[in-house]
Chains A and B, each alone.
Chain A
């Protein structure tokens, strides 16, 4: 998943998916926005898991939580629950 946020950390858009190819990495949402990229990677057991903030991105992937439940901390570039 790719998450785009404004200067205040408000999420303005996302690109869904676990693995993003080069073409999707060239995509952008909004103007003057920043982004977080979470790619899913294989762990030592061969299972796929998010590359960052595993618990949160697993919940986003399953639909248990929605991007609107979060904002981005512009300093740490991490998702935080609203």
Chain B
């Protein structure tokens, strides 16, 4: 069988003899391939209630994904500037979890009813990959 492909070595290593760990890329290994990425925001309703963000991808299978979101920090009493990788569970309890889940047609993110006070604006960022999750 022919031995061919594409390899890129780290600086200082000969690509023809570099070990796998001395490469920055090799076509021998699978990689994550981005289908789409984007961002958005939700505003917590008054009265507070659960909300679900629906992102339709229509890939026909359950794709791998990553989802990051701001959260309401109960200790500082404000929305964080940082983004947390989800799923996220509020340590204080109640229906405060943020749960992303994927089907063959959609990526849905359920924000629990008490994850943040009414009026809070929560930003999110997502990546959907061509790679199959399941």
Contacts from A to B (Cβ < 8 Å): 2, 4, 10-17, 23-24, 26-31, 67-68
Closest to A31 in B: B54
A71 to B42, CA, bound (A): 14
Q: What is the minimal beta-carbon distance from A41 to any residue of chain B, in angstroms?
A: 20
B35 within 8 A of partner (CB) = yes
Asked if residues A15 and B37 are in contact (CB atoms below 8 Å), the reply is: yes
The main secondary structure of chain B at its interface with chain A is strand
Asked if residues A14 and B40 are in contact (CB atoms below 8 Å), the reply is: yes
**What are 17 of the A-B contact pairs (CB < 8 Å)?**
A11-B40, A12-B41, A12-B53, A13-B38, A13-B55, A14-B39, A15-B36, A16-B36, A16-B37, A24-B35, A26-B56, A27-B36, A27-B58, A29-B38, A29-B54, A29-B56, A67-B39
Besides A11-B40, A12-B42, A29-B40, 8 more A-B contacts (Cβ < 8 Å) are A12-B53, A13-B39, A13-B40, A14-B40, A16-B37, A16-B38, A24-B35, A29-B56
B123 within 8 A of partner (CB) = yes
Q: A11-B41, A12-B41 are in contact. Are A24 and B36 (CB under 8 A)?
A: yes
Contacts from B to A (Cβ < 8 Å): 35-43, 53-59, 123
- Of A2, A10, A26, the residue contacting B58 (CB under 8 A) is A26
Q: Which residues of A contact B35 (CB under 8 A)?
A: 23-24
